[in-house]
């Protein structure tokens, strides 16, 4: 396999084309961003931690019956993935109240949500990823009804796998987002699952171990990410 060049550079990942039209390389960089890129820093080692945590989670989800774009690790910073036609919708599950949910609904942070709250957001940085519903998705044809149902089912299935996985590591999976894409007619989980895209708290103290540390200057982000990887048993 040969890397042909850059396809797209996001906030913390670069997507590279390969000589296989069905495969891409994800390069996880050491960039940390918040507030749609307004806040930015480079944190040595962050790309490696996220790449390996993502590989660990994707492999666990695959074993649990969730089809993903992940193929294999290539290096400390890079992974080989299937090339998807991405659906511009983020699927969010909230097990505990935090972040925008608290601001929107006046709910106290840390309240347990039973059943978990499921939400859709439009993936659009310029619009700050606005919240949407199934009617928007159908009307604007971002996805078919079958794809919407599939994304929702897979996201909740992922929760049934990941919530106990993190619990066993002494971590609370507060909330997370998943993105999906099309691959030869099949809906696959795409993008990434890393501490950048979820909230994780220590199960006993509820100490934050996610990107909120960077967003709000609450502590050492890399120390937290290394702790998450260590608790999960991810070799770095």
Q: Check residue 210 and give its pLDDT.
A: 94
Handedness of CA 116, 104, 152, 8 (dihedral sign): negative
**Position with higher pLDDT, 168 vs 128:** 168
pLDDT of residue 36 exceeding 90:
no
Q: Check residue 103 and give its pLDDT.
A: 95
Rounded to an integer, the average pLDDT of 5-16 is 92
Q: Check residue 1 and give its pLDDT.
A: 80
Angstrom distance (rounded) from CA 7 to CA 24: 9
Three-class SS state of 75: coil
pTM of the model: 0.94
Provide CATH 3.30.200.20 ranges for the chain.
Answer: 3-82
Torsion of CA 125, 193, 208, 9, to 10 degrees: -40
Rounded to an integer, the average pLDDT of 128-133 is 95
Rounded to an integer, the average pLDDT of 22-38 is 90
Domain at 3-82, CATH from 3.30.200.20, 3.40.50.1110, 3.40.50.10490, 3.30.365.10: 3.30.200.20
For 209-233, what is each residue's pLDDT tens digit?
999 999 999 999 999 999 999 999 9
Q: Check residue 192 and give its pLDDT.
A: 97
The Cα angle at residue 143 between residues 63 and 176, in degrees rounded to 5: 50
Q: Check residue 125 and give its pLDDT.
A: 87
For 52-98, what is each residue's pLDDT tens digit?
999 999 999 999 999 999 999 999 999 999 999 999 999 999 999 99
Q: Which CATH architecture has domain 86-220?
A: 2-Layer Sandwich (3.30)
Angstrom distance (rounded) from CA 17 to CA 15: 7
pLDDT tier at 34, thresholds 50, 70, 90: confident
Q: What percent of the chain has pLDDT over 70?
A: 100
pLDDT of residue 105 exceeding 80:
yes
Angstrom distance (rounded) from CA 194 to CA 229: 10
Q: Which residues pair with 176 in a beta bridge?
A: 93, 198
Asked if residues 98 and 199 have their Cβ atoms less than 8 Å apart, the reply is yes
Rounded to an integer, the average pLDDT of 169-176 is 98
pLDDT of residue 35 exceeding 90:
no
pLDDT of residue 37 exceeding 80:
no
Provide CATH 3.30.470.20 ranges for the chain.
Answer: 86-220
């Amino acid at each position: 396999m040969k890397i042909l060049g850059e396809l797209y550079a996001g906030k913390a990942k670069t997507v590279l084309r390969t000589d296989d039209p069905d495969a891409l390389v994800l390069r996880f960089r050491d960039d940390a961003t918040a507030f749609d890129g307004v806040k930015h820093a480079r944190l040595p080692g962050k790309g490696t931690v996220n790449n390996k945590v993502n590989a660990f989670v994707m492999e666990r989800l695959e074993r649990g019956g969730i089809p993903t774009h992940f193929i294999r690790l290539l290096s400390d910073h890079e992974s080989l993935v299937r090339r998807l036609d991405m659906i511009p919708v983020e699927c969010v599950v909230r097990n505990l109240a935090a972040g925008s949910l608290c601001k929107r609904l006046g709910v106290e942070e840390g309240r347990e949500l039973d059943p978990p709250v499921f939400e859709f957001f439009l993936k659009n940085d310029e619009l700050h990823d606005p919240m949407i519903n199934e009617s928007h998705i159908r009307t604007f044809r971002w996805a078919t009804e079958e794809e919407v149902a599939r994304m929702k089912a897979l996201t909740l299935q992922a929760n049934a796998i990941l919530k106990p996985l993190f619990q066993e590591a002494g971590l609370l999976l507060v909330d997370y987002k998943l993105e999906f894409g099309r691959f030869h007619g099949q809906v696959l989980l795409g993008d990434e699952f890393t501490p950048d895209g979820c909230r994780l708290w220590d199960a006993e103290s509820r100490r934050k171990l996610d990107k909120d540390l960077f967003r709000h200057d609450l502590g050492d982000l890399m120390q937290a990410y290394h702790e998450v990887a260590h608790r999960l048993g991810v070799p770095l």
